[in-house]
Amino acid sequence: MWPEYYTISYLNPRSGAFEGIEVDLARGLAQRLGVGLGVVPTDFRLFMDRLDQGDCDVAMFGIGITPQRAARVDFAQPYLRSAVYGVIMQNNRLIRDWSDIDRPGNVVAVASGTFMEPLMQRTLRHASIVSVAPPQTREAELQSGRADVFMSDFPYTRRLLLTGQWFRIIEPPGGFGETLYAPAVAKGDAAMLAAINAFVAEARADGTLARSAARHGLSPILID
């Protein structure tokens, strides 16, 4: 799990505990399998290597399904989807809506290893792009002025809404970049994949999935 993913797999610094929809589901999956749950911290750059190396059995932290990732890992049935949003400083006067992002001189930050990285590389024609890898953050790039806007998704921007008024979120047109999210397993791990899909089907049928999504404010992006 990526510990920084608010409402998905967030390591709360106050409680020291993981929380989010994927945490709820991982606990339920472990219980269904009759095993203990161990959380291996990772990120979008490294999770496929962790699966290949056997460091973990499942990558479960809102992973967007892309052809490049599907060539290396197998995905379970998706249950979340999100478009891509822009985040700017509140006092930015040059970027007022989505059409202002891709203009000469603008710097667009994306998190390294996320699906937004190749998406923006394909999409941007005039603005430049910078990939931000830990321990650097997109927020720091924005606040320092090294970036004019950074790209994120619905879950992550919900966290920003709670942190203050220094930024503004720009809604995308027509569901720009909408991507399905699902757990991933090592290529060829059919047994684990079947177990995840069976668990999620039960969680959907008995309302567990919907209740968890509502608890974490993710109902708008839940796939029915």
Domain limits, the chain: 4-80+179-221, 84-174
| pLDDT at res. 145 | 95
| pLDDT at res. 166 | 86
Both structure tokens of 98? 């989505």
| pLDDT at res. 164 | 66
Q: What sign does the CA torsion over 70, 115, 40, 132 have?
A: positive
Calculate Rg over the CA atoms of the chain.
18
- Please tell me the CATH code under which domain 84-174 is placed: 3.40.190.10
Angle, alpha carbons 56-216-147 (nearest 5°): 80
d(CA 169, CA 97): 9
Beta bridge partners of 28: none
Domain 4-80+179-221 has CATH 1.10.357.10: no
Dihedral through CA 57, CA 189, CA 177, CA 26, nearest 10? -40
User: Averaged in consecutive runs of 10 residues, what is the pLDDT profile of the chain (224 residues)?
Assistant: 96 95 98 96 96 97 97 98 96 95 98 95 97 93 96 92 83 96 98 98 97 97 94
- pTM score > 0.85 for this model? yes
| pLDDT at res. 50 | 97
Same fold, 4-80+179-221 and 84-174: yes
DSSP secondary structure string, 32-86?
A: HHT---------TTTHHHHHHTTS-S-B-S-PBP-HHHHTTEEE----EEE-EEE
